[in-house]
């Protein structure tokens, strides 16, 4: 039987139409390249903005939250190096203002020549003895629980002026002079005066009100830091929000959204890690450039205390980025990710079947979870996200615990996923 030529023409026409439809449905290479370019640009921008957002959120929390500010610097009251530096500073301020010459004025006129001669011979020893006595009393006070309370009071009074430090105005309990940020120790000296009087040094009662400073930061970068922190303070929480929007925009524009999610999460984690490395590098440079008369141990303790919540934020973003990247990878279509999911389902399925073999029947619960498992899973993810966002100051431990709890919830959903044939094996056999 001869072949009909029209069949060949029809087949060729059909192939031509299929090719046209496929060319229309597939995105143009230029469109792919443009989307990929802007997706990469937004993800890189999100990674760059991440450390700036972390610093902006940290600086804003120090300005707007008094309790946070106090919690940041309160541990300094218990640091031995800081206690020693405060003791030396307060002792020197008190010694300079002790009215030793009032001893002559209080003596009888006939005794003044003898007392003057005695003080002339014993002056250095008397001064050293008074200095040692004052130093001992100050050190005892600084090491007591009362000092922690006074230190907290100083910090609370200083918080009102802390924003002036960032704007460069100074004033209040926090002073900015040139390249130095210092804290006024007047309340500490007032407590020391009372302690000296109570321990027999009545001359201390005549010491006037003394304002002396304890240096928190001394660096030629203070002015530059003021400018940078001022800009970040004005930006407020918009910088981290902008970083998040850039990441989301890059993911939505990407040709492969799941891979872009992994890249965005790891990019944010890398940005946070670079900030952590920068803090450590700046610490070494800052301590190396301090004047020779500055206590290195005390300066290191102050620096570490000032940035400890900033470092905690760095660890939190790093942990969050790794968790999100891992979750995006595990839910992807890769062979290794599929193998991990297969092990997950098979392992939990074996536990469920073992429980069913022991007589456990899930009934309507199993059927409901089977029908709604996807919605329930996404609901658990949304709940975890809400908890993380509404947590005042989440840490890396908070992120990891939320991830562990979410994983446990998903495991429970997998265990409860029992369709009719699993819950009623007898019906499945009869069928």
The answer to the question of residue 360 being in a domain is yes
The answer to the question of residue 54 being in a domain is no
Higher pLDDT, residue 162 or 289: 289
The answer to the question of residue 406 being in a domain is yes
The answer to the question of residue 369 being in a domain is yes
Mean predicted lDDT score pLDDT of the chain: 78
Helix (H) or strand (E) holding 424: none
Strand partners, 181: 176, 217
Helix (H) or strand (E) holding 220: none
pLDDT (0 to 100) of residue 243: 92
Helix (H, G, I), strand (E, B) or coil at 260: helix
The answer to the question of residue 48 being in a domain is no
State how many domains the chain has. 1
Token pair 């939190």 in the structure block, residue:
316
Closest of 37, 399, 36, 39 to residue 248, by C-alpha: 39
Token pair 């005549």 in the structure block, residue:
206
Q: Tell me the C-alpha distance between 200 and 225, whole Å.
A: 47
The answer to the question of residue 378 being in a domain is yes
pLDDT (0 to 100) of residue 429: 40
Q: For residue 237, is pLDDT > 80?
A: no
For range 131-148, the mean pLDDT: 86
For range 41-60, the mean pLDDT: 90
For range 57-67, the mean pLDDT: 80
Residues 6+ apart with CB under 8 A from 51: 271, 272, 274, 275, 278
pLDDT band at 48 (very low <50, low <70, confident <90, very high): very high
Handedness of CA 381, 383, 389, 391 (dihedral sign): negative
pLDDT (0 to 100) of residue 270: 95
pLDDT (0 to 100) of residue 324: 94
Owning domain of residue 389: 333-430
The answer to the question of residue 49 being in a domain is no
Closest of 127, 144, 149, 131 to residue 88, by C-alpha: 131
Closest of 11, 143, 168 to residue 86, by C-alpha: 143
């Amino acid at each position: 039987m001869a072949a009909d030529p029209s069949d060949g023409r029809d087949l060729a026409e059909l192939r031509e139409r299929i090719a046209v439809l496929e060319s229309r449905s597939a995105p143009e290479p230029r469109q792919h390249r443009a989307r990929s370019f802007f997706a990469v640009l937004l993800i890189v921008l999100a990674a760059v903005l991440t450390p700036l957002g972390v610093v902006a959120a940290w600086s804003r929390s120090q300005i707007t939250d008094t309790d946070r500010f106090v919690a940041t610097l309160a541990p300094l009251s218990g640091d031995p190096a800081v206690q020693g530096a405060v003791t030396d500073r307060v002792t020197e301020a008190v010694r300079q203002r002790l009215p030793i010459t009032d001893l002559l004025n209080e003596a009888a006129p006939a005794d003044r020549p003898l007392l003057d001669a005695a003080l002339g011979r014993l002056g250095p020893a008397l001064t050293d003895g008074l200095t040692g006595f004052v130093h001992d009393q100050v050190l005892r006070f600084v090491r007591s629980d009362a000092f922690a309370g006074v230190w907290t009071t100083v910090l609370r009074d200083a918080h009102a002026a802390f924003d002036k430090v960032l704007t460069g105005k100074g004033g209040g309990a926090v002073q900015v002079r040139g390249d130095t940020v210092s804290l006024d120790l007047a309340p500490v000296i007032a407590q020391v005066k009372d302690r000296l009087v109570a321990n027999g040094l009545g001359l201390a009662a005549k010491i006037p009100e003394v304002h002396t400073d304890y240096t928190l930061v001394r660096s030629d970068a203070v002015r530059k830091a003021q400018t940078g922190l001022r800009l970040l303070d004005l930006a407020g929480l918009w910088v981290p929000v902008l970083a998040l929007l850039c990441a989301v925009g890059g993911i939505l524009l990407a040709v492969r959204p799941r891979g872009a999610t992994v890249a965005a999460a790891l990019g944010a984690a890398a940005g946070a890690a670079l900030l952590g490395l920068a803090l450590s590098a700046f610490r070494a440079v800052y301590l190396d450039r301090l004047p020779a008369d500055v206590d290195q141990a005390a300066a290191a303790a102050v620096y570490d205390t000032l940035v400890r919540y900033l470092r905690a934020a760095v660890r939190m973003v790093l942990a969050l980025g790794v968790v999100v990247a891992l979750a995006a990878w595990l839910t992807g279509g890769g062979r290794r990710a599929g193998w991990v999911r297969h092990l997950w389902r098979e392992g939990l399925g074996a536990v469920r079947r073992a429980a069913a073999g022991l007589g456990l029947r899930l009934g309507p619960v199993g059927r409901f979870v089977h029908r709604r498992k996807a919605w329930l899973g996404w609901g658990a993810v949304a709940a975890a996200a809400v908890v993380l966002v509404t947590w005042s100051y989440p840490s890396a431990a908070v992120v990891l615990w939320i991830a562990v709890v979410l994983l446990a919830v998903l495991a429970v959903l997998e265990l409860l996923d029992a369709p009719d044939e699993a819950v009623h094996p007898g019906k499945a056999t009869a069928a």
